[in-house]
Chains A and B, each alone.
Chain A
Amino acid sequence: MAAGILTRVSQALWGPRLVGAVLAGHRHTLGTAAAAAKPSAPIDDTGVKEKILNFPLTQPDFFRLSELFTIKDLFDARVHLGHKKGCRHRLMEPYLFGSRLDVDILDLDQTAEHLQRALNFTAHVAYRSGVILFICRRRQYSHLVETTARECGEYAHTRYWQGGLLTNAPVQYSPGVRLPDLIIFLSTLNNVFQPHVGIRDAAKMNIPTIGVVDSNCNPSLITYPVPGNDDTPAAMEMYCRLFKMTINRAKDKRRQMELLRGISASA
């Protein structure tokens, strides 16, 4: 009952896009989210729409994303390699396994857990047709990230970040623009090794963020940090591949569910 009120409150106050974050954050409410009522469904197929949107929230790994990667894959892609001891950020210390010859090693068990959570959240957002924005300010991987975004039908921004893109959106674009529902940072630093302005802006505009944080990054304002290497091409290609597969899977699942429920509703 308390969980039901919690979901209704969260939907009413913050809108549908943060529901996933709130629910995923409160792991104990995952199993009891069935009582939520979505106010904006059309009158004829309210029940069907509700079922389509709420059924995935009843299971912990609805999209079976744990099959997408193993810890061995992460190791082979060199995700565990951090920067030197001198570049270490104080807040990244909990995520470090240790340090070898002055090079920080990230704990792949924690990384796997965080990555699973992040991918699950992405899948749920993509399932509910949310707008996902990929950000990476590393020039080496700019083309790769833009190609990934284009192939999964989402959006990318790997260029110079103009000040008011999120905070002054009606003026920068046109009035009535829709802001992204999720921002994925494939590298949280910009070209001068400072935290990307988008992290702070997303936090200001209540947009959940996923970020690949290296051992020299600040994981504070990011909703779903994923401790991992953001310098090696192998690691970046792996992240792009994983996010693309997650988003495509979620969209396919949504289409499948709509077809199935559409058939069962009309029958």
Chain B
Amino acid sequence: MAASCSRGVRSLLWNYETCKKGLCVSLSRTCLRLPVRQICVSASVWRKNLAAAGPKKYTEEFIKKQVEEFEIGKRHLANMMGEDPETFTQEDIDKSIAYLFPSGLFEKRARPIMKHPDQIFPKQTAVQWDADRRPFHFLFYTGKQSYYSLMHDVYEKILAIERHQDKMRNKGLFTSDSKQISLFGSRWLVKEEMEELLVENISDQDYMRFIQLMERLLSMPYGSLEEEFVQKFRRQLEVQSSKQEIAPLQYDSQGIAFSVADGRRKSAKASITLRDSGSGNITINGRNYLQYFSLLQDREQLMFPLHFVDMLGRFDIEGSVEGSGHSSQGGALRLAISRALLSFVSEGEVEKMRQAGLLTADPRIKERKKPGQVGARKKFTWKKR
């Protein structure tokens, strides 16, 4: 130590990673005092440095402080609105903010928001190594540690199942018709959901590989042993028709069931009353449908929902329609009749109607005209020269 201190000048040439305090002191004593000059950095250099730093990182203390401020702010807001601070939910917060800061901006994301910091600041991975800078995870140096660790675990399970198969074969108890996991009514996680689960970005090929490996696991005879593990990566599919709101059946003074529904198409608005135990009469705006719609196509539109559920002669239809042209009026009436039929029909039929497209409102509207063109699509005459 003393020997190296005395060689202060020569040691200036060597670059130590860890410099002892004593050594530094000896250097400052031996080396000349150079004038320190403030180097003025121009704005363009600042901009370059900012770009190289990457996305902004938030420390844990900062996020904690933000959470505390949010909680206090929530209580203040509840007091301001005269509500109970203990039972003030996020919906109440949104309503209060919309009331206190009314905004005419079209873009919903540009309006004032007050949300929990976890939803505003993006999730970041914590520091990946310990005090000696040794990484925690054994696959850290691959770059995608969570994804490859998951693949490693799945493969481990496949090997375990193969060993189990061999054991059963040895005992003579091997059966290839053991129960398979039912995959009906669920789907694999989508790539975005996988990325959220792993807190990492994965490519399309990685995702495909993962799905292939899981399919391989499930195709093995004793694959049902790992059912719990597999279900973690599957989501239940909701039956779409359960989201449909079916109005309950109404009964008039004579005890005859009827239902009322509305429908729209372009700018045509229709309203329908469907009465049970009728004989198939259709009245629109007070006139018979044969008189109102002289075109066969429009009358077919009216009959399509009833024909689909085989109830053509059962109902009496009373309807009023206004706006747009004959075709749109026909479409609006069709939607209204389908919606009215929902109360008379079973769950399975509702799903069939939904898949046939009877319950979907047609979103097509007239496309706007653009400047520099004759119409929406038609261009002015093109001249070569």
Contacts and interface: CB of A to CB of B under 8 A. Distances in A.
- State whether these chains interact: yes
11 contacts: A12-B16, A15-B17, A37-B4, A143-B159, A146-B139, A156-B141, A159-B142, A173-B140, A174-B127, A177-B129, A178-B133
A118 interface: no
A192 to B, nearest CB: 17
A146 B138 contact: yes
A156 to B, nearest CB: 6
Interface string A172-186: 111011101000000
Interface string B125-141: 00111001111001111
A133 B143 CA distance: 13
A155 B138 contact: yes
Contacts of A178: 129, 133-135
A49 interface: no
Interface in B56-105: none
B128 A174 contact: yes
Contacts, number: 60
Interface in B142-175: 142-144, 148, 152, 155-156, 159
Interface of B: 1, 4, 14, 16-18, 20, 127-129, 132-135, 138-144, 148, 152, 155-156, 159
Given A12-B16, A159-B144, A178-B133, 6 more contacts: A39-B16, A39-B20, A146-B138, A155-B138, A159-B148, A176-B133
Nearest to B134: A131
A165 B135 contact: no
B58 to A, nearest CB: 14
A180 B142 CA distance: 12
Nearest to A16: B17
Contact of A143 (B1, B140, B156): B156
Contact of A172 (B20, B132, B143): B143
Contacts of B1: 37
Contacts of A176: 133
A112 to B, nearest CB: 30
Nearest to B205: A160
A157 B129 CA distance: 17
A51 interface: no
Q: Which 6 A-B pairs have CB atoms at the shortest separation, nearest pair first?
A: A178-B133, A40-B18, A150-B138, A157-B142, A157-B141, A159-B142
Nearest to A143: B155
Nearest to B135: A155
B17 A155 contact: no
Contact of A180 (B132, B138, B141): B141
Contacts of B127: 174
Contacts of A15: 17
B141 A133 contact: yes
Contacts of A154: 138
A6 to B, nearest CB: 15
A247 interface: no
A250 to B, nearest CB: 15
Contacts of B140: 155, 173
A157 B155 contact: no
A156 B138 contact: yes
Interface string A1-29: 00000000000110100000000000000
B142 A12 contact: no
Contact of A13 (B14, B141, B155): B14
Nearest to B19: A39
Contacts of B16: 12, 39
A236 interface: no
Nearest to B57: A174
A178 B142 CA distance: 14
A157 B139 contact: yes
A149 interface: yes
A218 interface: no
Contact of A149 (B129, B138, B156): B138
